[in-house]
Structure 1
Amino acid sequence: MATGFQRLLLALALASTAPLALAQDGPLGDIVGPDEERRRISERDLDTENFEFGVFYGLMSVEDFGSNPVAGISLSYHVTEAIFLQANAAQTETRETSYELLSGAVELLTEDQRDYTYYNLSLGYNFLPGQIYLTENWSFNTAAYVIGGAGNTEFAGQDYFTYNLGAGFKLYTTDWLALDLGMRGHVFTHELFGREVEVNNLEARLGVSLFF
């Protein structure tokens, strides 16, 4: 008799748990474990440009020869996101010195010798990456950088070993175009006035760069 009563209780217990199991397989199961669609990202869509070609224009202050317009080109290779190598070439035409202007007759340099041309190879480092927000939905990536290197300057019919130091700020308008505002100092030693003089010719420039 006891065995039959136990079997009856077990049957009632199983019957009472069946609706709960069905509920878990129904709407409740959908809430706990929803199906998610995974995004597919193609590596071909990611930017891989390591080369940068730029043109720039600005002013260059040549000690004793005035401030003059300067124009040039640059080619960079980005070794990493932070480190890059850059080659520069530029030219400006210097003015007469104050001594020449005051004397009225003395010419220290010929017209051809007044051409100032430089080229160099430098190592740069990008730091402080960030963004500029013009509106709530319109922003540009930015980065500051420091740079330094060495090269050659052709001036007054002579070649001078020159080292340069500088800094700048870049604003990336797209993933392939950037604006570059920079300052450079070009240092070399000459003897144009009969004695050895070290000069630091400062350059301010604004450039446009294309990444490829």
Structure 2
Amino acid sequence: MLRFSQLFLSMIFVVQLCGNISAAHAMDAEQQTSSISVISPQKKISKAESAKIDTENLEIGFFIGTLSVEDFGTNQTQGITAVYHLTPDYFAQLSLGRSDVGRATFEDVVEQDFLSDEDEKFNYTQLAFAYQIFHGRSFMGEKSKFNSHIYLVAGLENVEFAGESNTGFVFGSTYKVVTTDWLTWNFELKNHLIERDFLSNKKMTNNIEFNIGFNALF
């Protein structure tokens, strides 16, 4: 009986001791928690600004290239152009071009000139419209990339050549590369379809032109 009483008292002492230890740990944890200060970060909200997007619709520039006039060989051509972008996919283009055409093949054969120096000038005034069929990026080297576009072009023109002034059609394509926010490169391939009456020989002629142009954006 005495042993049982001693064992019972020992158990009570152990339970009380464990309770005191737990209470001491809880008080220490509470003190540590109360001593911790929460630091709120300095929140600085930056002011949103609208992106500066260029909205130029007008291009003005010049071009230089080659023009192959049917029956008269290939010669240099040059001119000026103005482009107005109606929408992102369409633009209207006004071009003034000129080429000094050489002697015709049959003139060399008969060794006789049929055209005066003034009549050998191929001058055209052209109004065309273009539709964008592809757009993407062109890469020139590993780090240089530019926005680029491919357009189909068609329109009307007036051509003065061989002592005549004729209305014709023009059609082709333009490859446009936007190098900066104010400059574009343009590579054009087009056909001047003109009906020509030369030495009582009336026929429809195809005159192929390829040129490279540089336009400034406004």
TM-score, normalised via structure 2 length: 0.77
Q: CA deviation at 1:124?
A: 0.7
Report how far residue 42 of structure 1 moved: 3.3
Give distance in 2, aligned partners of 1:39 and 1:103.
80
After superposition, residues 116-135 of structure 1 pair within 5 angstroms as 116-134=122-140
The CA deviation at 1:203 is: 0.1
- Over alpha carbons, which structure has the higher Rg? 2
Residue 65 (structure 2) pairs with residue 58 (structure 1): yes
Q: CA RMSD in A?
A: 2.3
> What is the DSSP-based 3-state SS (H/G/I as helix, E as strand, rest coil) of the residue aligned with 1:191?
strand
Identity %: 28
**Equivalence for 1:4:** none
Gapped regions of structure 2 (runs ≥ 5) = 1-32
SS in 1 for 2:93: strand
**How far apart in 2 are the matches of 1:138 and 1:200?**
38
Among 82, 86, 109, the alignment partner of 2:93 is: 86
Q: Quick one: distance in 2 between partners of 1:154 and 1:126?
A: 30
Q: 2:49 aligns with which of 41, 56, 59?
A: 41
* 1:111 equivalent in structure 2: 117
* 1:204 pairs with 2:210: yes
Distance 2:45 2:138 in 1: 34
Give secondary structure in 2 for the equivalent of 1:47. Answer: coil
Q: Deviations over 1:32-70 (max 9, x none)?
A: xx9573552236x32111100121000000001110000
- Cα offset, 1:128, TM superposition: 1.6
Q: By how many angstroms is 1:136 displaced?
A: 5.3
What is the Cα deviation at residue 138 of structure 1? 3.2
Amino acid at match of 1:40: A
Structure 1 residues 158 and 135: CA distance shift in structure 2, 3 A: closer
Aligned residues: 185
Distance 1:41 1:151, change over 3 A: same
2:147 corresponding residue in structure 1: 141
C-alpha offsets along residues 124-149 of structure 1, whole Å, 9 cap, x if unaligned? 11232111234554321111111110
SS for the counterpart of 1:99 is helix
Scaled by the length of structure 1, the TM-score of the pair is: 0.79
- The corresponding residue for 1:5 is none
3-state SS of paired residue (2:107): helix
- Give 3-state SS (helix, strand or coil) of 1:159's partner: strand
Letter in 1 for 2:79: G
Q: List gaps (5 residues or longer) in structure 1.
A: 1-18
Q: Give, in whole Å, the separation in 2 of the partners of 1:141 and 1:39.
A: 30
